[in-house]
């Protein structure tokens, strides 16, 4: 499990250091800021699970900072306030602004740790109450490419970001539809407000009965409210169970008719595959007056591959602390002669594997050829397994596929469920339930 991240904000270096040491010993990943300006910068650059915020600081007091974070909706984690000379009025104001708790200095280790643990547990339970929302990273990935095709796409995206038009983003699997949606949100005036991500798998109901649909309907409406002044993105609507899909589109149409999206000022984005039926496409466009954007497949702008490769290497090395490996020109050329059926996501997977498993300072053409051959062998094995699944009843086939898929991905992350959650894009609690239902433990990765 990944260590929970805490930001300690206090202008006294000794207290910052002491609290950081205590929390690090407890297993948390701790960052420190000794000024409000530094705290602002760190909050915009990284995701934190909790902020421990001093009230009295010379450049700007903690109450003002907390109020600013709340007004601009840039903070989505609990805040614990601390002060050496607090008053009842100050504590009440901090609580009114959304602070979880107020602790007094001098800090006692036991009370500090207990308060932080309660705040983290309470926030996690709140997040789990709406199971369809998937958290997103503030450090989103910008679409990459200097080709005419990509420049035209980026120009369209920018124009769409300046309008309140709802958007339907079409493209092949792995082509970057989510990246395009985030890019449009971040380029708009909504970028300081929430981007709510709803994955299609959250609509995977075992039974489409009224109780299950009523719960899901409530969560959808709550998600729209949470996206106030921001954007909500529905992933792969055409891949949702047909019964649930129809109910979802009908619900979105009803909410649009009574101006719920307008009332909360929410921009709706949705992705579909190129195989989406005309009925689904027409229903969505009719329900939400959506404008369609097409994301090109990677094979339609292969001249961007060298730029993509170098961008992916830089990103993985910066975010995951991989040892840097330069990609040789010959290796880049080898990438240009592959068909990329899973587009940019497949290129990303291969680059990550080359950084993790390869040796030496340079990715060679032989490294790339071996990785591509492995990909083709794996696809052949998957196609063989798929043929066997076709002989099973639908429910059994789906469960068998999900189990093999998760076992395969679990092997890639060496049995780490937290890394698996990031890799497959599932909320961790939902993933644990799925693994248990399929009889998979973290050790089942051989």
∠ CA 392-396-402, rounded to 5°: 115
The answer to whether the pTM exceeds 0.85 is: no
Q: Does 148-296 carry CATH code 3.40.50.11540?
A: no
CATH topology of domain 301-437: Helicase, Ruva Protein; domain 3 (1.10.8)
Show the 3-state SS of the chain: CCCCEEEEECCCHHHHHHHHHHHHHCCCEEEEECCHHHHHHHHHHCCCCEEEEECCCCCCCHHHHHHHHHHHCCCCCCEEEEECCCCHHHHHHHHHCCCCEEEECCCCHHHHHHHHHHHHHHHHHHHHCCCCEECCCCCCCCCCCCCHHHHHHHHHHHHHHCCCCCEEEECCCCCCHHHHHHHHHHHCCCCCCCEEEECHHHHCCCCCCHHHHHHHHHHHHHHHHHCCCCEEEECCHHHCCHHHHHHHHHHHHHHHHCCHHHHCCCEEEEEECCCCCHHHHHHHHHHHCCEEEECCCHHHCHHHHHHHHHHHHHHHHHHHCCCCCEECHHHHHHHHCCCCCCHHHHHHHHHHHHHHHCCCCEECHHHHHHHHHHHHHHHHHHHHHHHHHCCCCHHHHHHHHHHHHHHHHHHHCCCCHHHHHHHHCCCHHHHHHHHHHCCCCCCCCC
Supply the pLDDT for residue 390.
Answer: 65
Burial class of residue 288, CB neighbours in 10 A (0-12, 13-18, 19+): buried
Supply the pLDDT for residue 445.
Answer: 37
Task: Return per-residue pLDDT of the chain as tens, 446 residues.
Answer: 457 889 999 988 888 888 888 898 888 889 998 888 888 888 877 778 899 998 888 778 888 888 888 777 677 788 998 877 656 667 677 777 778 888 887 778 888 898 898 888 877 665 555 666 666 666 677 899 999 999 999 999 999 999 999 999 999 999 999 999 999 999 999 988 889 999 887 787 666 678 888 888 888 998 898 888 999 999 999 988 888 899 999 999 999 999 999 999 999 999 999 888 888 899 999 899 999 999 999 999 999 999 999 999 998 888 777 889 999 999 999 999 998 988 999 999 899 889 887 778 899 999 998 888 776 655 555 555 555 666 667 777 777 778 777 877 877 676 777 778 777 777 777 787 788 777 776 443 33
CATH topology of domain 5-129: Rossmann fold (3.40.50)
Supply the pLDDT for residue 382.
Answer: 54
Supply the pLDDT for residue 446.
Answer: 33
Beta strands 79-83 and 267-272, pairing class: unpaired
List, as own/partner pairs, every contact residues 117-121 make where C-beta atoms lie below 8 angstroms and the sequence separation is at least 24, other chains included.
Answer: 119/50, 119/78, 119/80, 120/4, 120/49, 120/50, 120/78
Supply the pLDDT for residue 122.
Answer: 74
Instruction: Report CA torsion sign: 210, 215, 221, 224.
Output: negative
Supply the pLDDT for residue 131.
Answer: 64
d(CA 254, CA 223): 16
Contact 407, 444 (CB under 8 A): yes
Where exactly are the structural domains of the chain?
5-129, 148-296, 301-437
Supply the pLDDT for residue 230.
Answer: 92
Same fold flag, 5-129 and 301-437 = no
d(CA 145, CA 180): 12
Supply the pLDDT for residue 381.
Answer: 53
């Amino acid at each position: 499990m990944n260590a929970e991240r805490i930001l300690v904000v206090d202008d006294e270096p000794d207290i910052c250091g002491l609290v950081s040491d205590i929390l690090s010993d407890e297993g948390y990943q701790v960052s420190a800021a000794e000024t409000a300006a530094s705290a602002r910068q760190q909050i915009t650059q990284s995701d934190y699970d909790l902020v421990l915020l001093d009230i009295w600081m010379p450049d700007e007091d903690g109450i003002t900072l907390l109020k600013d974070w709340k007004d601009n909706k840039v903070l989505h984690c609990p805040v614990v306030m601390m002060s050496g000379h607090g008053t009842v009025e100050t504590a009440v104001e901090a609580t009114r602004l959304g602070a979880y708790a107020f602790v007094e200095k001098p800090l006692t280790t036991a009370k500090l740790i207990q308060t932080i643990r309660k705040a983290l547990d309470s926030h996690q339970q709140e997040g789990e109450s709406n199971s369809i929302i998937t958290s997103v990273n503030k450090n989103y990935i910008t679409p990459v490419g200097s080709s005419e095709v990509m420049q035209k796409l980026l120009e369209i995206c920018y124009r769409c970001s300046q309008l309140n038009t709802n958007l339907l983003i079409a493209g092949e699997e792995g082509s970057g539809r989510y990246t395009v949606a985030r890019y449009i949100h971040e380029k708009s005036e909504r970028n300081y407000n929430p981007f709510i991500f709803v994955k299609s798998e959250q609509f995977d109901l075992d039974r489409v009965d009224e109780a299950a649909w009523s719960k899901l309907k409530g969560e959808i409406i709550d998600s729209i409210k949470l996206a106030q002044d921001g954007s909500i993105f529905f992933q792969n609507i055409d891949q949702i169970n047909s019964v649930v899909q129809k109910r979802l589109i009908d619900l979105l149409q009803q909410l649009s008719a009574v101006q719920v999206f307008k009332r909360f000022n929410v921009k709706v984005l949705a992705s579909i595959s190129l195989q989406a039926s005309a009925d689904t496409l027409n229903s969505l466009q009719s329900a939400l007056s959506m404008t369609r954007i097409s994301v090109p497949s990677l094979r339609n702008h292969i001249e961007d591959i060298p730029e993509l490769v170098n961008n992916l290497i830089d990103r993985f090395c910066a975010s995951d602390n991989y040892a840097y490996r330069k990609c040789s020109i010959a290796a880049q050329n080898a990438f240009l002669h592959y068909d990329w059926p899973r587009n940019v996501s497949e290129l990303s997977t291969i680059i990550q594997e080359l950084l993790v498993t390869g040796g030496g300072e340079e990715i060679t053409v032989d490294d790339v050829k071996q990785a591509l051959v492995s990909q083709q062998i794996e696809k052949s094995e998957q196609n063989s397994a798929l043929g066997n699944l076709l002989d099973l009843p639908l429910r059994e086939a789906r469960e068998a596929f999900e189990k093999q898929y998760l076992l395969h991905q679990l092997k890639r992350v060496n049995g780490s469920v937290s890394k698996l959650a990031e890799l497959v894009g599932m909320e961790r609690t939902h993933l644990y339930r799925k693994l248990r239902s399929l009889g998979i433990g973290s050790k089942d990765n051989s």
